[in-house]
Amino acid sequence: MYYTLLKDNKYYEFNNINILETLNNKDNIIYINLYNSNLKKLINLDKFINLEELNCSCNQLTELPNLPNNLQELNCNNNKLTELPIFPTKLIYLYCNNNQLTELPKLPSNLKILYCYNNKLTQLPILPTKLISLYCDNNLLTQLPKLPSNLKLLYCNNNQLTQLPELPNNIFRLYCNNNNNKNLNKYIIHCKSLYKHKKYNKYININTLNGLLNYNIENYYYIYIIKYYDKHNNYNNV
């Protein structure tokens, strides 16, 4: 079992997690990789003041310590986490999927990527304006917050959604199958293609509104959007 850290632009490997606590000059470490290490608890990270990336995925963690202020990427997926600590303001990438989370803390304004799928989330916090990818599928969500204008990818399938918020102009991929979404057709007006994974595993081109309404979108894996109705029922180009 090996752990990796980046110090002074050099990678080091070690086979004892306790070495992290005994290191001198912890402030020189910018990357720690503890992936798949059978860990049940992390050490205190307060002294790693310049840590930018932490990968503690695929362990048995039930909680995380306070996170360093300079952290930009946190990968804690595939653990047993039921809650997360306050996020540092510089965080850009957050991968907390495949846990047991019921809620998320306030999201930092610099966040661009959020993977929180396969949890037990019933709602999401306010989404940062810089967010471009949101993977919140396989949760217990009944509604989504306002979507930021920069959002390009939205995976919200396998929830309990009955409707979607207004879709941003920049969005180009939407996954919304397997929801309580009998009314979601009214949000999706003109599609380039639908991919139906339950039958034939191929693309089906839809060029007219009537053509789309002939399909049950719950059966489709994803939808490429070209146009949609906004809240005033006007066409908008994506």
pLDDT of residue 182: 57
- Find the mean pLDDT for residues 75-81: 98
Residue 20 has pLDDT above 90, yes or no: no
Q: Give yes or no for a contact between 89 and 69, defined as CB atoms under 8 angstroms apart.
A: yes
Q: With bands split at pLDDT 50, 70 and 90, how would you rate the model's confidence at 201?
A: very low
More confident residue, 79 or 163: 79
| Residue 27: predicted pLDDT | 87
- pLDDT (0 to 100) of residue 138: 97
Instruction: List the single range of 116-130, 148-162, 164-178, 185-199 with lowest mean pLDDT.
Output: 185-199
Kindly tell me if the per-residue pLDDT of 150 is higher than 70: yes
The answer to whether residues 140 and 118 touch, using CB atoms and an 8 Å cutoff, is no
Over the Cα atoms of the chain, what is R_g?
A: 21
Tell me the average pLDDT across 158-168.
88
Please check the confidence at residue 108 and state whether its pLDDT lies above 60.
Answer: yes
CA dihedral 122, 66, 62, 145 (to 10 degrees): 10
Q: What's the helix, strand, coil split of the chain in %, to 5?
A: 10, 25, 70
Q: What 3-state class would DSSP assign to 19?
A: helix
pLDDT at 228: 38
Residue 158 has pLDDT above 50, yes or no: yes
> What's this model's pTM, rounded to 2 decimal places?
0.80
pLDDT at 183: 57
Tell me the mean pLDDT in the region 146-172: 89
The predicted model gives 143-156 an average pLDDT of 94
Burial class (CB in 10 A: 0-12, 13-18, 19+), 127: buried
Distance CA 16, CA 118 (A): 31
Which is higher by pLDDT, 22 or 116? 116
pLDDT at position 112 is: 98
